[in-house]
Structure 1
């Protein structure tokens, strides 16, 4: 997966955290949760994007699909305001 780093005119940096880059190398980071990927009582998975005022996605039959949906939504709706 490609790592997108968005820098606005004020110099603020926004990215979806991945271990390929240390956010400290870009300055003093403020790291916050973008979502919660959790199992349901039925055994499927959801991606709750409420921490960034987004929807709950799913249910998905496997966790990796919920993670993919989470990253896709964050990339399209949160990364570039």
Structure 2
């Protein structure tokens, strides 16, 4: 699990159960996206909760989850430096 340690001491990551985050300290978890099918069946990853785009359509849920994870790691966890 990749973690970003901010100057104020907080740690940011894309949640996974790889390690027990509570062992590090206080944990605050918030949703980064919604991965759901539309009424016609294709899957979308909506990253609006973190100010991101709506990705898709994807034929499989696993493809939408992979795109969601890649986007979160690239644009939210480790955003490009300006």
- TM-score (normalizing by structure 1): 0.93
Structure 1 residue runs of 5 or longer lacking an equivalent are none
- TM-score (normalizing by structure 2): 0.92
Backbone CA RMSD of aligned residues: 0.9
| Shift in Å, 1:80 | 2.2
**Which contiguous aligned blocks of 4+ residues in structure 1 show a shift greater than 3 angstroms?**
none
| Shift in Å, 1:26 | 1.6
| Shift in Å, 1:15 | 0.5
- Which residue does the alignment assign to 1:69? 67
Structure 2 residue runs of 5 or longer lacking an equivalent are none
1:56 to 2:54 alignment: yes
The size of the alignment, in residue pairs, is 79
* CA distance in structure 2 between the partners assigned to 1:35 and 1:22 by the alignment: 22
Instruction: Give deviations 1:23-77, integer Å, cap 9, x for gaps.
Output: 1112101100000000111111000000001000001000000000000000001
